């Protein structure tokens, strides 16, 4: 066989037809073909890296513009420029192994300064367990791994890529959603922490208050982005009828509603079960049970695109000491949520409950004998239980408000340390 320059080639080299740019063909060795294919593959790798860099820059630009429009550029980590192009951090040089250069350049900004220990919403140093932290391998991107290897990242971290403090994050599971939260009375209530986490996850929040609106407005100022407050008495048909109109003055619709409403007269609690009269029972049921249906129907005109309704519950499968007719009302609440799930499902609306363990809230203080729950719950909970920490229940509510449970409705999610699942 004869090669391109008339030299005889050994048979084991092998020959093949190789197309030329002008449409012709030449006889070439397999080595020539291999070199040409490798050059084409290298060009394709460089093109993909350039496309990735361009997409990264455009995404950061959109993120920066969104934060700037909200006036919340302060949540960005100091010293890191969102608009800094990853491909502008080092001068161009000869191509290296696929992808390695880009990964090295994007890591540099992230490890240029020490990362401090995260803090909770009250500004105190947060423990990994208290934050529900995750293993570093779950943190996103090569920057986290590089930072850990350099000793600058704690071995456990809060939600990946999100600040642990109260500031609003760039992207979250409720990004752009409009949420109505009822029942915020103090900053120790579950509803307050639902509103806080919802804002951190990107939601626009509107609160309702009953009676002492000035108190709710004062508490609302403790949220990352103080929301407006409107009045709502769930036993007042006029206020329920005007709810959609009053909400529309602040939000152009609703994607989620949080029902955190419950009340029973003192005679319906504390061991008075056999002596309680019907007017007291009727009051407990109307406020704590029927109000879920009333609130859902009042908000329905604003939920044309579907959404999620989440109510707060206390496990009604057992007869708890001193809970009495409030336990009956909670059992009715659970049944009401299932029927709402049945009838609102065709409209794309999910209805679920979160059954929290006992918490030292304003509502709990009104229950005679509440200390009995405090004494036994932590000992029975496989995961343990902190009666002063409403965040686990609040996180469960936020998760159900998000799109991460698209096919879940009529459900009761227990956030109680596991007491509901084990014996005494």
Q: Are 16 and 38 in contact (CB under 8 A)?
A: no
DSSP state of 122: T
Residue (of 53, 120, 116, 49) closest to 79 by Cα position: 116
- End-to-end Cα separation, the chain, in angstroms: 89
DSSP state of 416: S
Q: Look up tokens 């109000």; give the residue.
A: 291
Q: Are 397 and 351 in contact (CB under 8 A)?
A: no
Whether 365 is catalytic is no
Catalytic residue, from 323, 339, 343, 365: name it. Answer: 323
- Helix or strand holding residue 32 (H, E): helix 30-69
Beta-carbon contacts of residue 373 (< 8 Å; ≥ 6 apart):
320, 358, 364, 387
Phi/psi at 377 (5° precision): -65, -50
> Distance (Å, rounded) from C-alpha 274 to C-alpha 286?
20
Structure token digits, residue 255: 């994607």
Q: Are 247 and 180 in contact (CB under 8 A)?
A: yes
Whether 330 is catalytic is yes
Q: How far is CA 34 from the centre of its chain?
A: 50
Structure token digits, residue 185: 């009375």
Beta carbons within 10 angstroms of residue 190's beta carbon: 25
Q: Are strands 349-356 and 412-415 parallel, antiparallel or unpaired?
A: parallel
Residue (of 315, 261, 263, 314) closest to 291 by Cα position: 261
**Strand arrangement of the beta sheet that strand 412-415 belongs to:** 229-231, 204-209, 178-181, 256-259, 307-313, 349-356, 412-415
> Distance (Å, rounded) from C-alpha 260 to C-alpha 288?
9
> Distance (Å, rounded) from C-alpha 323 to C-alpha 332?
14
Q: Tell me the HSE value of 17 on the side-chain side, using a 13 A CA sphere.
A: 4
Catalytic residue, from 177, 210, 293, 330: name it. Answer: 330
Catalytic residues: 323, 330
């Amino acid at each position: 066989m004869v090669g391109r320059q008339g030299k005889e080639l050994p048979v084991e080299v092998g020959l093949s037809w190789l197309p030329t740019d002008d449409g012709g063909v030449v006889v070439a060795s397999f080595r020539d073909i291999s070199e040409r294919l490798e050059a084409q593959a290298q060009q394709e790798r460089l093109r993909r890296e350039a496309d990735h860099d361009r997409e990264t820059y455009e995404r950061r630009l959109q993120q920066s513009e969104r934060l700037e429009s909200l006036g919340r550029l302060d949540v960005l980590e100091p010293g890191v420029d969102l608009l800094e192009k990853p491909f502008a951090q080092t001068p161009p040089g000869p191509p290296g192994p696929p992808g390695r250069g880009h990964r090295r350049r994007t890591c540099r900004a992230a490890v240029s300064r020490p990362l401090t220990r995260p803090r909770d919403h009250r500004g105190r140093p947060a423990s990994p367990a208290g934050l529900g932290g995750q293993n570093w391998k779950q943190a996103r991107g090569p920057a986290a791994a590089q930072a850990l290897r350099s000793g600058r990242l704690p071995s456990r971290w809060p939600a990946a890529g999100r600040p642990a403090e109260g500031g609003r994050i760039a992207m979250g599971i409720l990004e752009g959603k409009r949420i109505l939260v009822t029942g915020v009375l103090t900053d120790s209530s579950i509803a307050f922490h639902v509103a806080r986490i919802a804002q951190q996850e990107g939601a626009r929040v509107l609160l309702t208050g009953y009676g002492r609106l000035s108190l709710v407005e004062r508490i609302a100022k403790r949220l990352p982005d103080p929301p407006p407050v409107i009045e709502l008495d769930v036993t007042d048909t006029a206020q329920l009828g005007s709810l959609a109109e009053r909400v529309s003055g602040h939000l152009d619709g609703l994607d989620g509603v949080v029902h955190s409403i419950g009340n029973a007269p003192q005679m319906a609690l504390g061991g008075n079960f056999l002596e309680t009269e019907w007017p007291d029972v009727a009051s407990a049921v109307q406020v704590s049970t029927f109000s879920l249906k009333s609130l859902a129907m009042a908000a329905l005109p604003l939920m044309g695109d579907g959404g999620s309704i989440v109510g707060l519950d206390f496990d009604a499968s057992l007869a708890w000491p001193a809970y009495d007719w409030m336990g009956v009302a909670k059992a009715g609440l659970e049944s009401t949520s299932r029927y709402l799930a049945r009838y609102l499902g065709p409209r794309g609306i999910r209805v679920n409950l979160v059954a929290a363990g006992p918490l030292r809230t304003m509502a709990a203080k009104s229950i005679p004998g509440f200390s009995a729950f405090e004494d036994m719950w932590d000992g029975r909970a496989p995961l343990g239980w902190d009666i002063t920490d409403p965040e686990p229940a609040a996180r469960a509510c936020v998760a159900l408000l998000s799109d991460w449970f698209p096919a879940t409705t009529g459900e009761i999610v227990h956030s109680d340390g596991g007491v509901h699942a084990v014996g005494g």
